[in-house]
Amino acid sequence: MISQKAKYALRALVTLARAGRGQSRMIGDISREQAIPKKFLEQILLELKRAGLVSSRRGRLGGYELLRAPEQITYGEVLRLIDGPIAPLPCLSKIAYRRCADCRDEASCEIRHVFARVTLATREVLDKTSLADSLQLEDLPTNGAA
């Protein structure tokens, strides 16, 4: 499950992508439109700015805008930036690998094998889905299944 912070970061980035290249959006407008607490959004946008995904300008014509094209920013990149590794088990993490304390043998762990397939499929979708792709998917119905 992704964090609320990651969800807000993605919402803010999609809002900026929807605005168009070279167009800035004021933090207050993003906050209101996406129902994100303004102070929390400020922290998130600062983190996205440090990572080189957005830039900011002060003044009447200021605001935030994407630094890269929406096609070049993937969900996987944003989730790793905000939440860290994309892995349901510590033994499947590429970045923060940690052996499971209760595991006798990773090679024969049935649970690890199933979740390894889940992890690969999840990473593949997230790393191939850009902000631009999500704008095209806005009109598709979703299945509310958990």
Per CATH, the architecture of 4-66 is what?
Answer: Orthogonal Bundle (1.10)
- Between CA 73 and CA 127 the distance in angstroms is 9
Other residues' Cβ atoms within 10 Å of the Cβ of residue 111: 12
- Between CA 107 and CA 16 the distance in angstroms is 44
Residues 120-135: tens digit of each pLDDT: 999 999 999 999 998 8
The pLDDT value given to residue 107 = 84
Mean of pLDDT over the chain: 88
For 68, list phi and psi in degrees, rounded to 5: -120, 160
Of 3, 60, 50, 74, residue with least CA distance to 26: 60
Domain boundaries, the chain: 4-66, 74-131
Of 15, 5, 14, 11, residue with least CA distance to 84: 5
Which is more confidently placed, 110 or 141? 110
User: pTM of the predicted model, to two decimals?
Assistant: 0.83
